[in-house]
Amino acid sequence: MLTPATESQAADIIREFASRGQQLKISGGNTRGEIGNPVDASETLSSTGLSGITSYNPAEMVMTAWAGTPVAVVDAALAETGQMMAFEPIDHRPVMGTEGEPTIGGVFATNASGPRRFTSGAARDHLLGLRFVNGRGEIVKAGGRVMKNVTGLDLVKVLAGSHGTLAFLTEITFKVLPRPKTAATIVLSGLDDAEAAAAMAAAMALPVEVSGAAHLPESVRGRFLEGHLPDGPATVLRLEGLEASVRVRAEKLAAAMRDRGPVAHLDADETTTLWREIRDVKPYADGTVRPLWRVSVAPSEGHKLVAALRLEAGIDAFYDWQGGLVWMRMEADAEDVTLRRYIKATGGGHATLVRAPESLRRAVPAFEPLAPAVALLQQAVKAKFDPNGVFNPGRMVISNAQ
């Protein structure tokens, strides 16, 4: 593994590989390294040698850090000032069965986001600026430290979620937000998937500021909170903010939901644990490599997609983001053709193969296939950033919408 200690060293390495026509696997902490199709490169270029927070002013709510900085270091610095990364980046280690430390560069390279994204946005929405090395070994800066500085902003968005196919990220500038003082969760029990989708939609329409909505069918409910959720499928709704505000809003939300089924409350500690487990897809952190898909469809269509696939393919699933995001585990085969056929039939969306045996990852498109015109545009973007095809050969993705 190649671990340059400076941006210039990284540029030198990339120029050397480009001149020799050799290819590189791009990595941070390698905790997400096997998402998508396998990368066929004999050498790995890691950002872990580029570590440390270079600028952080809590009053501005903006942080700049080298791409290899561990997420734990970022979280600790933010916790000291009562701030956070509002998009709740998922930690892929449990479902991927990997070790090591996730890096802040890896978070933005994969657009790793969690349950709060429908109110706070995804990782890319918090990204202000980047420094990176392109496939020619040139050091480039894009964006700035404030959102209104739009210079290069589109370039920043293109790189977010590009999974190391366009550039080697070296430095990240992103916005942060105040950490909620407390949180609570309302648990609605006994609803089937369609009833849960309707309940989540109704909750989101109320003026109570729900910051997380998920449905945990009976097949997975017992794997959350060590099995301490109430009996039956659980529809969970999170509220965050000042203690008095959360208490009043929780009462209003519970009253509005009581005609739909039994209602229970989770305290702040239970809420923190539950939503971390939802974020990190705990039910499928089972030590296997059974195919795991991250599927995004319209919130009203998620339960229809799951119902159809349960009949035809045999799956296990739970819903995040008001039913619009489905974590779906297949029992054996990746079932990519069947899955994408049903996604199209239910109004469209996209699916990303997060985990599978290597043989399946080589055989199926891990990222959503593009329309011909979009694919041509993608190839043109790749040619501009990485004309010699140095970065992550075999991983066919540029910027995956999540």
Structure confidence by residue, pLDDT tens digits, 80-130: 999 999 999 999 999 999 999 999 999 999 999 999 998 999 999 999 999
Q: For residue 374, tell me if it sits in a domain.
A: no
pLDDT band at 149 (very low <50, low <70, confident <90, very high): very low
Residues 198 and 252 in one domain: yes
Structure confidence by residue, pLDDT tens digits, 204-219: 999 999 999 999 999 9
Last residue of a domain, one of 224, 250, 279: 279
- What mean pLDDT is predicted for residues 160-181? 96
**Separation between Cα atoms, residue 315 and residue 311, nearest integer Å:** 9
Structure confidence by residue, pLDDT tens digits, 105-115: 999 999 999 99
How many domains, the chain? 3
pLDDT for 334 beyond 70: yes
Residues 24 and 112 in one domain: yes
Residues 246 and 314 in one domain: no
Q: For residue 397, tell me if it sits in a domain.
A: no
Determine the pLDDT at residue 239.
Answer: 98
- The helix (H) or strand (E) run that includes residue 174 is strand 168-175
Residues 155 and 29 in one domain: yes
Structure confidence by residue, pLDDT tens digits, 369-398: 888 898 898 889 999 999 999 998 877 665
Residues 133 and 94 in one domain: yes
Cα 275 to the center of its chain, rounded Å = 14
Structure confidence by residue, pLDDT tens digits, 238-296: 999 999 999 999 999 999 999 999 999 999 999 999 999 999 999 999 999 999 999 99
107: containing domain: 7-178+379-385
Residues 32 and 100 in one domain: yes
CATH of the domain at 297: 3.30.70.120
Determine the pLDDT at residue 374.
Answer: 86
Q: Indicate the DSSP class of residue 113.
A: -
Q: Indicate the DSSP class of residue 306.
A: H
Determine the pLDDT at residue 313.
Answer: 87
> What φ, ψ does residue 223 adopt, rounded to 5°?
-90, 0
Structure tokens at 294: 């991250």
Residues 274 and 344 in one domain: no
- The Cα-based distances of 33 to 81, 167, 310, 315, 325 in angstroms read 32, 15, 29, 25, 22
Q: For residue 400, tell me if it sits in a domain.
A: no
**Separation between Cα atoms, residue 181 and residue 179, nearest integer Å:** 6
**Separation between Cα atoms, residue 155 and residue 141, nearest integer Å:** 10
pLDDT for 133 beyond 80: yes
What is the residue-averaged pLDDT of the chain? 93
Q: For residue 294, tell me if it sits in a domain.
A: yes
Q: Indicate the DSSP class of residue 153.
A: H
Residues 13 and 156 in one domain: yes
pLDDT band at 400 (very low <50, low <70, confident <90, very high): very low
Residues 45 and 164 in one domain: yes
Indicate the pTM of the whole model: 0.94
